[in-house]
Structure 1
């Protein structure tokens, strides 16, 4: 009998010590230190951005990708999720974009990322939010460490709309690093209620997520929840094998499609490894408060979808079906670049 995804996760650890030590011994570079400028080692990368009404920040995001110091060429694939602003025009004209497509109707970020993954030529896909500005060495740091078995996690530093960064992004700004949860309120993910304030340090207290294997929790966090597509590098063949992102999440609301992808990859035996130096600025939109309230209003539906998928068999062997589905979708898209 095929094991459920939930049960499969309980049999997977996340001790990535050997993996990181092998990198350090082979390169002479510490895992959490930047590689030298113009580093040419590592794997072929494809950067995939799903874009929806991000004309206010996309030019800066693409400028930053064009300014990356990675010594190997990498492609940038941007999929417009039927935006109603000037996003498509930015994609069509910016020189950093290798491939640009526009979905015929709004499908959600999961579908946009799936299409980008289908088109990707690189061995590793780097998922970046279209409102995520990366420092110049970020792509090189990911490319140098990417393997067939690693799910590489970066971090984000949110910036309010209209606020220009006055220094580099800070690791501690990410909730997976510094976390002060509310008290006397059920937490969104686990549902537990904390009665006393805590100074949460998920990254530090779990030893770079090593202690989150085998289904363990850190209060409201588990290993799949650490997989956030704002900045994430994953072996392309692994994404195809599990069938990519579940597109249903985009249809019913916001969130959880990256958590489910993470769970599927972990169940398949991949290690989730953070890069503390890989931190980018995440730009809030002009209507950030309104968008956040709308996202939270759909959270219960997407969380319920995720819980239901945990009870289903762990996904594998879906490359052919994924390819057929994306090939069909491709024919309905407008080519922007």
Structure 2
């Protein structure tokens, strides 16, 4: 039996021909913000999929930012309300930028919400966007111009405490900072077991995962940068993927949602890498992450579940990589959709 872990060891992340080819055709750098008149702006249709649970503090700002995108072509925006009890439902139903909004009758988890959104999407590329991430106006065009059937495009986030943004208002005037993402600037604790790899660092480290791996090129073939590897770089806060590929690997594994927070995006990344996709960062695709009022309590609850989801991820690495699951996903999601409230 060939396992997912074994397949990852045999996969390179040599994406330089992809980025060089784009630069030659588009006439701009891979990491440059893309102007609406870029000749490749219509290269791919884009569906933005937003899983939304208790994001009333941020969803209006997130949707306003999508309405303000400079993209010259239609953008499909799908919001899947994961049984929220705040005003998430009302915002999703009323905002004019939303193409489709549905509400799950009970909490299923972000992974299932994203899979349902992917099932509903019609775009060639799905841009997964958390319901608390505010994007600069060029990002959808950045994605549409660069996306392909074989690329996973990774964006980044700059966290803003609730006291700073106040329900999505009063955002800083400058652009969000790439260095604010923990995949870019990383200073791990010393003498403590790192949760992902189990390493214990003997001295302080000024970690620069993105820089020191040459923008993830060196993370192919199962390589690590201390506590980081290529699947762990796949974070769905801002992530663009080919819709067909996501459906083929089964979408987001729902068992993670039942266990708690974390690792469902890492597992999806591992499955897509095993299927031959390349993981390519977009340094210019940085959004503001808007903390909720109770951010500390939420992180405490999430991190309490992480050991269980991490153990489950490791167990799944020793199983065969999922493939050919499109029909299964469609059947499951069609059945789930029948239970949903159609908001828009």
1:16 aligns with 15
Is 1:36 aligned with 2:35?
Answer: yes
2:4 aligns with 5
User: Does the 8 Å CA contact 1:129/1:231 hold for their aligned counterparts?
Assistant: yes
How many angstroms apart in 2 are the aligned matches of 1:157 and 1:33?
18
Unmatched runs of 5 consecutive residues or more in structure 1? none
The Cα shift of 1:35 comes to 1.4
TM-score by length of 2: 0.97
The Cα shift of 1:56 comes to 1.0
The Cα shift of 1:284 comes to 0.8
How many angstroms apart in 2 are the aligned matches of 1:119 and 1:16?
30
1:161 aligns with 162
1:295 aligns with 302
User: Does the 8 Å CA contact 1:242/1:264 hold for their aligned counterparts?
Assistant: yes
Greater alpha carbon shift after TM alignment, 161-170 vs 106-115: 161-170
Q: Deviations over 1:104-149 (max 9, x none)?
A: 1100000000000000000000000000000000111011100000
How many angstroms apart in 1 are the aligned matches of 2:56 and 2:35?
32
1:112 aligns with 113
How many angstroms apart in 1 are the aligned matches of 2:192 and 2:34?
43
Q: Which of residues 163, 170, 173 in structure 1 aligns to 2:177?
A: 170
How many angstroms apart in 2 are the aligned matches of 1:234 and 1:9?
18
2:168 aligns with none
2:25 aligns with 26
The Cα shift of 1:38 comes to 4.9
1:83 aligns with 84
1:127 aligns with 128
Question: When the two structures are aligned, how many residues end up with a matched partner?
Answer: 336
How many angstroms apart in 2 are the aligned matches of 1:21 and 1:38?
20
Secondary structure, in 3 states, of the residue corresponding to 1:163?
helix
How many angstroms apart in 1 are the aligned matches of 2:251 and 2:14?
25
Q: Deviations over 1:241-265 (max 9, x none)?
A: 0000001111111010000000000
How many angstroms apart in 1 are the aligned matches of 2:125 and 2:301?
33
User: Does the 8 Å CA contact 1:14/1:210 hold for their aligned counterparts?
Assistant: yes
Q: Deviations over 1:225-284 (max 9, x none)?
A: 000000000000000100000011111110100000000000000000001000000011
For residues 1-337 of structure 1, what are the structure 2 equivalents within 5 Å? 1=1, 3-39=2-38, 40-164=41-165, 165-166=171-172, 167-337=174-344
Secondary structure, in 3 states, of the residue corresponding to 2:115?
helix
Unmatched runs of 5 consecutive residues or more in structure 2? 166-170
Greater alpha carbon shift after TM alignment, 157-166 vs 30-39: 30-39
Secondary structure, in 3 states, of the residue corresponding to 1:306?
helix
How many angstroms apart in 2 are the aligned matches of 1:190 and 1:175?
16
Secondary structure, in 3 states, of the residue corresponding to 2:91?
helix
The Cα shift of 1:37 comes to 3.2
How many angstroms apart in 1 are the aligned matches of 2:36 and 2:114?
29
The Cα shift of 1:58 comes to 0.5
Secondary structure, in 3 states, of the residue corresponding to 1:35?
coil
Q: Which segments of structure 1 move beyond 3 Å, counting only runs of 4 or more?
A: 37-40
How many angstroms apart in 2 are the aligned matches of 1:255 and 1:238?
21
User: Does the 8 Å CA contact 1:38/1:69 hold for their aligned counterparts?
Assistant: no
How many angstroms apart in 1 are the aligned matches of 2:155 and 2:195?
22
User: Does the 8 Å CA contact 1:133/1:282 hold for their aligned counterparts?
Assistant: yes
How many angstroms apart in 1 are the aligned matches of 2:246 and 2:19?
22
